[in-house]
Amino acid sequence: MTLEWMYWTLPTAIFCIAIFLALTGMTIWQTVSPSVERRGFLPIPTTPGDRLFIGLVSALYIQLAWLGLTDLSLWIALLVGVGWIVAVMLWG
């Protein structure tokens, strides 16, 4: 029986570190200065932590749809995903 291991490439490591830093930063920010819920273009009242989670999950779906539906570069999808996360964080 052989084990299949995940190979850590530089982009994979950067992605995982960025997500970890974003979640750590959000935790520290909300601990130091708790925020109140607000309404934006999302149909529910959200806190910054909620908007970060919604942005990350929906950016994942953007990436998967990009992979499945186009042959364009994933770097473009990365820019679209990051832009979407920023939009959700600012106006969501």
Interval 3-53: pLDDT, tens: 677 677 787 788 889 889 988 998 898 889 888 888 989 899 998 888 988
Q: Look up tokens 């309404």; give the residue.
A: 39
E strand map for 1-92:
none
pLDDT at 3: 63
Q: How many CB atoms lie within 10 A of CB 54?
A: 18
- Find the domain containing 41 and state its range: 10-91
pLDDT in tens, 51-88: 988 999 999 999 899 989 999 888 898 899 999 999 99
State the total domains in the chain.
1
* 59-90 per-residue burial string, b: 16 or more CB within 10 A, e: under 16: beebeeebeeeeeeeeeebbeebeebbeebbe
Any domain includes 41: yes
Hey, how many other C-beta atoms are within 10 angstroms of the C-beta on 92? 22
Residue 4 lies in a domain: no
Question: Is residue 5 a part of any domain in this protein?
Answer: no
